[in-house]
Each structure stands twice: as C-alpha cells, then as structure tokens.
Structure 1
C-alpha cells in the first residue's frame, strides 16, 4: 500500500487523465483557477480515507481543512465553517480501513459539496459537479492503489 506521496501522485495522475478526457469529449473547458482548485480537492479526496490514522497524509488533510475553515471564518461564512468542521470529524469515529475504505463512502462523503450549496444558496448542480467529481476521482485513486477494487 502506498503512503501519502503515492496517494498524492495517484490522485494527480487520475485527475489529469479525467481532465484530459473531459476536455477531449467537450464536457469541460479549462479555467486555470478552477483547475487548481479541482486538483487540490482531488488530492484531498485521495488523502481522506487514511485520515483515521496518525500519518503525514492526515496532517496535510487537516492543515488544508484548518486553512479553509479559517478562510471561511474570515469571510464570515460561519455556516460553511461549521459544516466543514463536522465533515472533517467523521473519520475520527471509525477504525482504520473501516467505512472510509468503501466504494459507497467514496460517493457519499463528497455529497455535501452538491447538496448543501444547492439547498442553502440555490447553486445549480452543474456548477458544483466538477468539485464533487474531483473529490471522487481522488478517493477512487486511493481505493484503487490500496487494492480495494
């Protein structure tokens, strides 16, 4: 099983393959700022399954969560900071290689990225879908590299 570096590399490769494929078939037009965000989310998706252990990946993941939470608080988006905090705590209530290493968690964990903005702010799903897909692709790369499929 790869460590955090292997999972980061795997997520970047998987994300790049999906991005190139979507561009080739005309489903995505490259926006450089969004691409950076999508790759960060893809990497976070790849690190998420192992944040229930004491690891470098866990420290990277939670450092990113802290930066995002502080940014949301600074921007006075307290609801979003609270949602992010609750979601970040979920893996702490399970054993390693428990629910975080399942195909259904890969699909359900990032679901709040679609549901919350839609119901709270009325954001349309097509605007939110790239972020959901990026997290799922990263998560998938982690499970694939761990031999879960």
Structure 2
C-alpha cells in the first residue's frame, strides 16, 4: 500500500541523492580513498590513505541488503544494531506509518534487484531525514550495508 504521490516523490528522492553524492564525491573524494573504516558504536565513517585519516563522516544506518534472500532489512528492525545509529530510520518508519507506505513501515522489502532497492530506499531515508548523502561500503558476503551521511568533514 502507498499513496498516489509516493512513486514520484520516491523518484525525486533518488535524483536528489545522486546530486548530493556527486557533490560529496567532488568535495571529499568519497569512494576514492584507499581505506575506509566504520564504527557503528561511535557512528563514524573514516576514509584514510597511507595510514592517515582524511575524511570523517557522522553516520546513521539505513539498512542492509541480502543477495541470498533478495531483500532489504531496515536498520530500525535489526536488533543487532545499537540504538544510537537508528534514529533516522525510526523517522522513516514513522513517516511510512503516517502516510500508509508499506515499504517504509515493514521490516523487510523484497525485490529481485536488491542492490538497486537498497540505494532507492536509502535515498528515501536521506530525503526524509534531510541528510547530506549516503555511502555503501564494499561487502563480500552477498549483501551490503547502506549508511546515511549526517556530517562530512576533512580530518584535522
């Protein structure tokens, strides 16, 4: 279930995320640093090169995908995550409940193209929470973790 306006609104969210991520790429070179590390307990994502931290981002977790199950799991529904990195997705769930948007209010969303789905739902979260952008760290287990970027700054 979803309201008539949601598909166009969701498409706008995807376009907005692309613009935001392009700006972060230009300004902070995200995706081009030789190393990244994230710490969900501190809510930080660090980009480094030659052992030196170059960029520090404050994060929330949007959710994760599973290629094996072809699904997305919202971070708010993942009991393994600390509450400190879930406030944005809790807002997404509330938005979904208030507007009758099932894919935002239910824990799992299934789709054959789960990687695309992950980016699309993260875009929706970024729009609802007025975040700066999003990042998906590489992951080798057949799924991915999607992060909402709340702040991005040069280190030092």
Shorter-chain TM-score bucket reads 0.3 to 0.5
Q: Is the helix fraction higher in 1 or 2?
A: 1
TM-score (norm 1): 0.34
Q: Is the strand fraction higher in 1 or 2?
A: 2
TM-score (norm 2): 0.33
Highest RCO, 1 vs 2 (Cα 8 Å, sep ≥ 6) = 1
